[in-house]
Amino acid sequence: MEIVGDYEYNNKDLIGHGAFAVVFKGRHRKKSNFPVAIKSITKKSLAKSQNLLGKEIKILKELTELHHENVVALLDCKESQHNVYLVMELCIG
Ligand SMILES: Nc1ncnc2c1ncn2[C@@H]1O[C@H](COP(=O)(O)OP(=O)(O)OP(=O)(O)O)[C@@H](O)[C@H]1O
C-alpha cells in the first residue's frame, strides 16, 4: 500500500490517467468504507504543467467550498520526494 497522509492506495487500483497524472482508487486508512480517488502527478511532469496544476488546485478548492453534491470535493493535497498527490472524493458511475 502507498500512504498519502490519512489515505492509502494500491498501485494495482489504477482508475485512469490524464494529460499529466494517474488516478488510483484509494481509501481512508482508518475508515476502510471511505473510498477516495488519489491523483498522482510526478514532479518531473509538473515542471511542464505547473501552471495547469496550480489552476486545477485553485478551482478544486473554490468548488469544494460550494459543498455541492455534483461537485467533487478536494480532501487533501500532499507531496513526496517525487510526486504531488490530490485526494478527492471518488466519483462512481
Ligand atoms: N474523483 C475521481 N473519481 C473517480 N475517477 C476519477 C476522479 N478523478 C479522475 N478520475 C478518473 O481518472 C481519469 C484521469 O483523470 P485526470 O483528472 O488525470 O485527467 P482528465 O480530466 O481525464 O484529463 P486532463 O488531464 O486533460 O485534465 C479520468 O478520466 C477519470 O476516469
pLDDT tens digits, one per residue of 73-92: 999 999 999 999 999 999 98
CA distance 73 to 67: 7
pLDDT tens digits, one per residue of 21-71: 999 999 999 998 999 999 999 888 877 677 777 888 899 999 999 888 878
Q: Residues near 71 by Cβ (< 8 Å), separated by ≥ 6?
A: 63, 64
39 labeled binding residue? yes
For residue 20, give the ligand 1 atom closest to its CA: 25
CA distance 19 to 53: 11
CATH classification of 2-89, choosing from 3.30.200.20, 3.40.50.1100, 2.160.20.70, 3.40.640.10?
A: 3.30.200.20
Q: What is the ipTM of this complex?
A: 0.93
For 92, other C-beta atoms within 10 Å of its C-beta total 7
| Domains in the chain: boundaries | 2-89
Ligand 1 center to residue 22 CA distance, Å?
Answer: 8
List the grid coordinates of 49. Answer: 504543467
